Amino acid sequence: MKVKGFTACVRLLTPLAPAYWAEDHAVLMNCIGHWLPQNKISCFSDSTLYDAWMKISGNHLEPDENLAIKVPILLGGEFKPDNFQIRNIFDYYKSTAAIYAPLFQKK
């Protein structure tokens, strides 16, 4: 039985793909100490777009912000800084959850 906290399983949603990453053995502590440092979750640790955006804008994102895609890749959008905008991360996932939910229910 898993309990909340350090032994809770880690799950990641990558809306650009869209993809849902899950690994039974990835719990919070070994995710921080093993999976992320060894770049075993490449979709999570790719900073290419953020680095390009920072170079252009000279800004950093606040902890509650993300770079939200305007036109999804699957609909012809490009993986370029001008196809992304700053959004509150909580508002972004609230507004996109209904769109992505059917994709993940089929799996």
Kindly tell me the burial class for residue 31, based on how many C-beta atoms sit within 10 Å of its own C-beta (0-12, 13-18, 19 or more).
buried
Residue 61 pLDDT exceeds 80: yes
In the prediction, which pLDDT does 3 show?
Answer: 53
Instruction: Record the tokens describing residue 98, joined without a space.
Output: 């209904």
Domain boundaries, the chain: 1-45, 47-98
More confident position, 48 or 5: 48
Single pTM value for the model:
0.62
Residue 2 pLDDT exceeds 60: no
More confident position, 17 or 91: 91
